[in-house]
A and B are shown apart, each in its own frame.
Chain A
Amino acid sequence: MPATVIEAVALSKHFRVMQKAPGLKGALKGLFSRVYRDVHAVKEISFSIKEGELVGFLGPNGAGKTTSLKMLSGLLHPSSGQAHVLGFVPWHRERRFQKQFTMVMGQRTQLWWDLPAWDSFLLNKEIFEIPDAEFETTAKELTRLLEIEDLLEIPVKKLSLGQRMKAELACSLLHSPKVLLMDEPTIGLDVMMQQKVRQFILAYNQRRKATILLTSHNMDDVSELCSRVILIDHGRILFDGPLSEIHKRYGDGKLADVMRTVFSEQRVH
């Protein structure tokens, strides 16, 4: 029986957000009197994910997916509730925890813009204290799988989006993390590149028995990678179960159409 790797219990997050009336008048008014409102981004969500599972975390924009990932990665302190990842409380940010997980954010890069990607690889080697031999083997394997061996000495700013994304993925996985939190890993990529990244994620999951939780608006990512999905909207979990169950309940059409139905009607329990 695989061990539970990610566990969230009644996890909630509220933000205080400033509101501004539109236009110049609103901007002037905001100089002297500011109005704030509480946004409940995540409301008491609970779920658990076992070792080696590849789970899709789906929902429309503003549903609370990224906020949940940020709490599980330790970036955000929750307003209430508990979470454990690999047995650690994420927001305590223990070194032993950070060395075993990674978070890939499709729209953000950790690569140094003016320097070749290899320099960023070397920096991660030092930061994660990866032994020389292990680094060599892993870097070789990752760059071969992602087909970026010839791009490592070119300044990152000269790479295409797809090449950068692949280099970013390799850089994030150099320390062989056991848990991957991926936020839109294929965003902005063309169809061919999306396919390659998906194949790579699946291969990594199978080879390393890594636990992966990914958010995506691309339903091809979900249908090709995830056997289980968690649907979230307005900060609440609407569904948590096998992908096949969604089709059983809501029809065999394209996953994107099924999702549209689910989120527009919000009838899933």
Chain B
Amino acid sequence: MKKYWFVYSLYWQEGLSRRASFFMERFRSLVVLLSFYYLWSALLTHRTSFAGYDRSQMITYVLGMNILRSLVFAGKSDEIAWEINRGVLSGYLLKPVNFMAYAFSRDLSEKSINLLSALIEVCVLSKVLGIAIAWPHRWDTWVWFIMAMAGAVVMNFLLSFIVGCWGFWTAESGGPRFCLELLLEFSAGAFFPLSVLSRPLQAFLQKLPSPYLVFFPLNIFLEKLNPTQITYGIMTQFLWILVLAGGTRLVWMRGLNAYAAQGS
């Protein structure tokens, strides 16, 4: 366990040693946040609510979206396919280390750097712009919200890992990965709440894992779900984690048999 903690710490150090990349990434995140804020502020100028969210809830969703994007989607798993194709994976396979645990540790490191930065940005922005955040009224909301976020982090890691493993069979995993990430973020509610979409499309998306990455945790935070819906959602997340974990193991084991260790 200690080795993975050390990996986490080293990626922190490495992340902070690249100052220019770090600040540019934060600048990009701030621009995205401001764009969404002004877009939704404009849409709600002459309305009291939109798609079931009042102004305060919608702005809170936008700010929460920024934080959850930093937590759920940030990570280094998008490098896995490249590491396989270039033979960088060999360096890990030669050592007594579990690559999945290693990859998860470095993802967590990246996530925590981004999360901390996103929290600071959101706090500063809400203070400067005088945004009224719709905080939860009940303490147990926080417990469910944290559980749902943890589930979302694990689900997205497993999904990214499976996609990264395409690198075992093709050197062209970049294109499909980009499309999948875009679709995933759209269907996760990382651009807007899914209730904006038509009911049939919403019903279809609910059958996928993606709404449980952003839309579900944020609706818990906004207290828009009753206890039954929350329990159902958490259990669904758990089932998705089991399915994805099984899929990850299968793809990884088969991939190792096909691994050509090119370039190393």
Contacts and interface: CB of A to CB of B under 8 A. Distances in A.
Binding partners A and B: yes
Contacts of B3: 123, 126-127, 129
Grouping DSSP codes into helix (H, G, I), strand (E, B) and loop, the B interface class, with mixed when no group exceeds half, is: helix
Interface stretch (B6-14, B29-37, B193-201, B244-252): B6-14
Contact of A112 (B10, B257, B261, B264): B10
A75 B260 CA distance: 8
Contacts of A75: 90, 93-94, 259, 261, 264
A53 B161 CA distance: 41
Interface residues of B, number: 24
Instruction: Indicate the size class of the contact surface on chain A.
Output: 20 to 34
A103 B94 contact: yes
A114 B17 CA distance: 7
B87 A98 contact: no
A129 B4 CA distance: 12
A162 to B, nearest CB: 21
Nearest to A109: B91
A225 B257 CA distance: 35
A198 interface: no
A254 interface: no
B6 A76 contact: no
Interface string B86-118: 011011011111000000000000000000000
B14 A114 contact: yes
Contact of B96 (A76, A114, A119, A128): A128
A83 to B, nearest CB: 15
B127 interface: no
Contacts of A196: none
A93 B264 contact: no
A119 B7 contact: no
Contacts of B97: 127
B259 A98 contact: no
Contacts of A99: 96
B138 interface: no
B2 interface: yes
Q: Please name the 9 residue pairs, one residue from A and one from B, whose CB atoms are nearest each other, closest first.
A: A126-B3, A98-B96, A95-B96, A75-B261, A126-B6, A114-B17, A127-B3, A110-B91, A70-B261
Given A74-B94, A108-B87, A108-B264, 15 more contacts: A15-B260, A70-B90, A75-B90, A76-B260, A93-B93, A95-B96, A99-B96, A103-B94, A114-B17, A114-B18, A126-B6, A127-B3, A127-B97, A128-B96, A129-B96
Interface of B: 2-3, 6-7, 10, 13-14, 17-18, 87-88, 90-91, 93-97, 256-257, 259-261, 264
